[in-house]
Amino acid sequence: MISFEFPVTERTRILLRLEYLYGRLAYFIGKDHPHDHHAALQVLFELMETASRADLKADLLQELERQKQMLEALRDNPNVAEETLEGVLEEIERASSQLLALTGKFGQNLRENEWLMAIKQRAGIPGGTCQFDLPSYHLWQQRSAEVRRQDLRRWAAPLMPTADAAEILLHLLRDSGKTYHYVARKGAFQQMSGGKVVQLIQVAYDDNLELLPELSANKYALNIRFVNAVTGETRPRQTEQDVEFQLTNCKF
């Protein structure tokens, strides 16, 4: 099976982008080659742009508090594992405290580092970080992998509370999902929403089909069509075959 996730709200879209970027950051920091650590720096710069919204911190704190209140209402419920519930509540409390401890604009520690900002500026130019353009950066790349890794972790540390908050919220959102099995006749499927709004939609199907799902959703209807995933075609065509798939709606 192959699965695709479609964010329905802007908040979910930001959470998924943060998850994607922080995942790449952890991967590249864990590697040893200078090229990998260059890629890690580029991800740091992408995070600066993605999470620089002034209201992101407030949005995350608001959603964490809302989830905390909903989960606290489940205490003493015989159908809920108390130990698991308390563990999640502790994670939410910890993530909220770390976010509240953040001061200044997101990534301010990076913006105040002139050396990093010089790299960021040159990184936007094709081949702009060659050794003759940034000799001090070339010198840094010649240091041991562990020294570079410590620097990267130090630069990334003030950003990590946002990563933890996004991870918790996406975990709760995905766990809320309800899965249904459907068939898209000749590659098309429509479902009336009845005014119900979800935050995340997952579509899963046999990965041998070589198809891609295209989705549009609002509070009135959900439309999915499966198109042929042929490389090089400028306009993908809707398949003529019936497609069995799983549809998961995730909503806080």
Mean pLDDT value across residues 141-160: 95
Mean pLDDT value across residues 187-195: 87
pLDDT at 231: 63
Query: Rounded to whole angstroms, how far apart are CA atoms 92 and 51?
Result: 20
pLDDT (tens digit, 9 = 90+) per residue, 50-67? 877 767 888 899 999 999
Q: Is the pLDDT assigned to residue 119 strictly greater than 80?
A: yes
Overall residue count recorded for the chain in this entry: 252
Tokens of 16: 């998924």
Chain centre distance of CA 137: 29
At 116, phi and psi to the nearest 5?
-65, -40
Mean pLDDT value across residues 159-180: 93
DSSP state of 75: T
**Which strands make up the sheet holding 178-184, listed edge to edge?**
2-7, 200-205, 243-250, 178-184
CA atoms within 13 A on the CB side of 13: 4
- Cα torsion 73, 202, 50, 118 to 10°: value is 130
Query: Rounded to whole angstroms, how far apart are CA atoms 129 and 120?
Result: 9
User: Is 8 in a helix, a strand, or coil?
Assistant: coil
Query: Rounded to whole angstroms, how far apart are CA atoms 148 and 144?
Result: 6
Q: What is the pTM of this model?
A: 0.89
What the chain holds in terms of domains, given with CATH numbers, is 10-171 (1.10.3900.10), 177-250 (2.60.440.10)
Q: Percentage of the chain surpassing pLDDT 70?
A: 97
Q: What is the mean pLDDT of the chain?
A: 91
